Amino acid sequence: MGVRIPQMVASQKIITAINEQIGNEFSAMLQYYAIGAYFAAQALPELSAHFDVQAEEEKGHALRFIARSTGAFRSR
Ligand SMILES: [Fe+2]
């Protein structure tokens, strides 16, 4: 007897939308990091840090979508 792994069934339309959203979240992350780098280069470290925090938040969204859609539930 093996371990029973719960399966989540989703339509291809939903899977495609989730994958697209994962890309959107990572894209937002990169844009926030770019903005943070710009402000760092302008000697504005507090603004830079603010956007770095936003970038991490977007990364967290992407990772949550990945975790949910792969069944690899992690607390974040
Ligand atoms: Fe997001």
Q: What is the pLDDT of residues 25-75, one digit of tens each?
A: 999 999 999 999 999 999 999 999 999 999 999 999 999 999 988 876 655
> How many independent structural domains does the chain possess?
1
pLDDT at residue 23 above 90?
yes
Asked if 66 and 72 count as a contact pair (C-beta separation under 8 A), the reply is yes
* Run of H or E including 8: none
Ligand 1 center to residue 28 CA distance, Å?
7
* Run of H or E including 44: none
- 5, part of any domain: no
Range of the structural domain that residue 54 is part of: 29-70
Residue 1 in tokens? 């007897």
**pTM (2 d.p.):** 0.80
Ligand 1 center to residue 19 CA distance, Å?
13
Ligand 1 center to residue 57 CA distance, Å?
7
Ligand 1 center to residue 2 CA distance, Å?
37
DSSP state of 14: H
Name the 3-class secondary structure at 32.
helix
The band of 9, judged by pLDDT with boundaries at 50, 70 and 90, is confident
Ligand 1 center to residue 71 CA distance, Å?
20
- 1, part of any domain: no
- 40, part of any domain: yes
Q: What is the pLDDT of residue 35?
A: 98
pLDDT at residue 1 above 70?
no
